[in-house]
């Protein structure tokens, strides 16, 4: 759920194409998610993606969606 439910969503100024490409830190994020949440790491990553979506942060949402897809494979 959004931490700022009454704040207007602003347009992202980030390049969305870069969020679709792999990033060297992705592996570290996945390892940390496994260390913290074990078998529920994919659920934790999905929750982070939903939070980014509700905050209007499309670039972060795309990043977490990519991480979620990697975890599900």
The pTM of this model reads 0.68
- What's the pLDDT at 6? 44
Burial classification of residue 37, based on how many CB atoms lie within 10 Å of its CB (0-12 exposed, 13-18 middle, 19 or more buried): middle
Do the Cβ atoms of 61 and 53 come closer than 8 Å? yes
User: How many alpha carbons lie under 13 Å from residue 65 in its C-beta half-sphere?
Assistant: 13
Q: Which residue has the tokens 């897809």?
A: 69
- Mean pLDDT check: name the lowest of 12-16, 37-41, 51-55, 64-68: 12-16
DSSP state letter for 3: S
Helix (H) or strand (E) holding 30: helix 26-37
């Amino acid at each position: 759920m959004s931490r700022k439910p009454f704040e207007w969503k602003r347009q992202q100024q980030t390049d969305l194409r870069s969020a679709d490409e792999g990033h060297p830190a992705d592996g570290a994020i996945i390892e940390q998610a496994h260390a913290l949440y074990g078998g529920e790491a994919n659920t934790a990553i999905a929750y982070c993606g939903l939070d980014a979506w509700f905050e209007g942060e499309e670039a972060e949402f795309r990043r977490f969606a990519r991480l979620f897809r990697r975890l599900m494979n």
